[in-house]
A = this chain, B = another copy of it.
Amino acid sequence: MENLFADRVHPETASRLAGLFPVMDYDDAIKFTAGAPAENLFPSDEMKQAYLAAMAAEGDHTFQYHTVEGPYELRERLAKRARERMKITDAKPENVMLTAGGQQGIDLVAKLLLNKGDAMVVEAPTYVGALASFDMYEPTYYEVNLEADGMAIDQLETLLRAHPDIKFLYTVADFHNPGGVTLSLAKRQRLVELANQYDFMILEDTPYRDLRYVGESLPTIKSFDTEGRVIFLSSFSKVLMPALRLGWLVADEKVLKQLYKLKEGADLEVPNLTAAAVNNFLANNSLDDHIAKLNQEYLIRQQAMLKAIATYMPEGVTATKPEGGFFTWVTVPESINTTDLLYNEATPNQHIAYVPSKNFYAYKDHTNGMRLNFTGLTPAQIDDGMKRLGTLLADRLTKVIN
């Protein structure tokens, strides 16, 4: 039977997402693994009211088939948000598409663009869920390194010169997952220039964009787009709640027309009750006030993480300094394999867990990094966990030297 499977699935290959989150049954376990928002900050009561209002407004029809596009009013709200908060000044409701979480946005854009073997660029490291989606369209990956101010744009240009067939670039420009860095203003502008010059499309994935704890927001890459080459993707998973499974993207109408065709084939239409509930929530609550509340709390945790890094990380270990988002990225000397360290020492001995670098690289060939989440833990947990990690790394590095 497995002989009938398509090339894209290899029976012996594990999911990109498998084994990312080790189970630890210790009372004193501290997990830096999570990519989940703090659920005690969810506006659950308000969302419950929004669900009830949606059902009351439409009655039985709430549960009937609706459309592939979902409620126009919700797309109007999001277009307004795109214009005002994302500086995508020409965004209309007709440019907004609702998706099943940001993940479906990634998947549909990949499906729109990628024939088997097509050339695309991803950051190294990059979001593992995006690789999980891209893999299934069998592209040829080219990697661009991350720097403190986002992707290495000169390296990108060299790549584009060498491989003019590159047609698609995926980036997490704000508070990178897993890198923690943000693409600078100058690089954003340069990236759009390169896209125009070398004829490729950009997917700007921004689930963390609104979660900025210090400094000022940068304009979106999409705000510099003059040729409809940039698809801007956002999500309610991190700023509201993940289980809504609702994302949204902004793109040229020619792009959306094809994406709707793909969405019809993929899952027919937007789930009406969810979309109507989120529309009600946005009508009756301030999303920005809610985000401000999140940022206030997450700032405390981000500062705890930066302090712990400065205090506990030994010589030779570096970490990115995120101004927002969920993660910092730690790089250790190449003598340390972070996957082995996790399973052989960090988890069983120190009772801490992180996500090792391997899975965040298209070719799984980087073994000396780790992703640490700081939004899912208290400052005390962060301090305690980072102390344990620092001790472990210092011990390993001493052993290597001696």
A positions within 8 Å CB-CB of B: 1-9, 11, 15-17, 35-37, 39-40, 42, 44, 47-48, 51-52, 55, 59-66, 100-101, 103-104, 107, 111-116, 118, 129, 132-137, 167-168, 199-201, 227-229, 237, 241-245, 252, 254-255, 257-258, 260-262, 264-269, 271-274
Q: Across the interface, which residues of B come within 8 angstroms of A228, CB to CB?
A: 1
A59 to B44 Cα, complex, angstroms: 8
Q: Across the interface, which residues of B come within 8 angstroms of A264, CB to CB?
A: 15-17, 129, 132
Q: Is the CB of B201 within 8 A of A258?
A: no
Closest residue of B by beta carbon distance from A129: B268
Top 6 A-B pairs, shortest CB-CB distance: A63-B241, A133-B265, A100-B267, A103-B268, A243-B272, A132-B265
Residue of A36, A55, A200, A268 with most chain B CB atoms under a 10 A cut-off: A268
A-B contact pairs, 20 of them (CB 8 A): A2-B254, A4-B113, A6-B111, A6-B112, A6-B113, A6-B114, A6-B118, A17-B264, A37-B64, A44-B63, A63-B244, A65-B237, A66-B243, A100-B271, A101-B268, A132-B265, A243-B272, A245-B268, A273-B274, A274-B274
Q: Is the CB of A245 within 8 A of B267?
A: yes
Known: A116-B116, A129-B268, A262-B9. A242 touches B44 (CB 8 A): no
Q: Is the CB of A133 within 8 A of B266?
A: yes
